[in-house]
Amino acid sequence: MRLATIDAGGGRDSAGVVVGDRVVDLSVPMEVWLATPRADWIIPPQAPSIGLEDARLKAPVPRPSKVIAIGMNYRDHCLEQGIEPPVEPLVFAKFPSSIIGPDAPVSWPAGVINVDWEVELAVVVGPRNSAGSPTVAGYTIANDVSARDLQSRDVQFVRAKSIDSFCPMGPWLVTPDELPDPVHLALSMQVNGVVMQESNTNQLLFDVPTLMSFCAHHFTLEPGDVILTGTPPGVGVFRKPPVYLGAGDTMVATIERIGQLRNPVAGERRA
């Protein structure tokens, strides 16, 4: 099953099921749908639908309670930096207000100069199972956009990665019945048609079950929470010379069996 959030009009967002070239409107917000036990995920037989080409897709989970990011989680990314892989997951946060959907522009405030891309497999948390443990609702694509100048200046990640529009996500969630175990998925990032990142989730140091367990041990995972599982090599900051985003660029993040996430770059925001 592919679950999307669509603009249903009148200021209302709604969860939808993508069926072929149409989206069936479930007439409930995504957060309500994800908090429902999966056994009760029943598509109403008379639910209205809209053509996928006509639907305005938003981030699958527009405002989760948490966006949890994992750093240095690809073997080949650690090799790119010449560092030892971490012995446990490196966890940091992005503010939910940084989330945007497919085709929404990425921009930043005046004074930010070194903006970078990061394709990532994102895990969305579902309802708890009978044992009380959080489950996986689905997988989507995320772009952990990062201001490297702020990251270097702050010596931590939150401000550099939480600027409004710095967490594109989409185009939809692919549920575990369709994607049971995302362990051998090709993923890539193109900037202006040039492949910058290209790897496979088999390079993950800590897989999805490990990350879910590690996070749940330290803080509550709520339905709809998002875990970004890390990025592979090819980011702009480690290129020689470094390459950064600018107004007019286009990013296309791709993950096998999920799809593509496209976002234009608007650049510095006008006052």
Stretches in the chain below the pLDDT threshold 70:
none
Cα–Cα distances (Å) from 228 to 53, 148, 194, 208, 222, in that order, read 28, 18, 23, 10, 15
How confident is the model at residue 270, as a pLDDT? 84
Backbone angles phi, psi at 220, to 5 degrees: -70, 130
How confident is the model at residue 119, as a pLDDT? 98
Give residue-wise pLDDT tens across range 8-38. 888 889 999 999 999 999 999 999 999 998 8
Cis link prior to 171 (omega < 30° from 0)?
Answer: yes
How confident is the model at residue 81, as a pLDDT? 79
Least Cα distance to 253 among 159, 124, 108, 118 occurs for 118
Is there a contact between 6 and 56 (Cβ–Cβ < 8 Å)? yes
Amino acid in the structure at residue 2 = R
d(CA 101, CA 94): 15
Cα–Cα distances (Å) from 158 to 2, 11, 12, 23, in that order, read 30, 30, 30, 35
How confident is the model at residue 111, as a pLDDT? 95
Q: Which helix (H) or strand (E) holds 7?
A: strand 2-9
Q: What is the CATH number of domain 60-268?
A: 3.90.850.10
The domains of the chain are located at 2-57, 60-268
Is there a contact between 173 and 188 (Cβ–Cβ < 8 Å)? no
pTM of the model: 0.96
How confident is the model at residue 76, as a pLDDT? 80
Determine how β-strand 134-143 pairs with β-strand 167-174.
antiparallel
How confident is the model at residue 145, as a pLDDT? 98
Query: If phi over 0 gives left and psi between -120 and 50 gives alpha, with beta otherwise, what is residue 25?
Result: beta
Helices within the chain (DSSP H only): 30-34, 75-81, 148-154, 158-161, 208-218
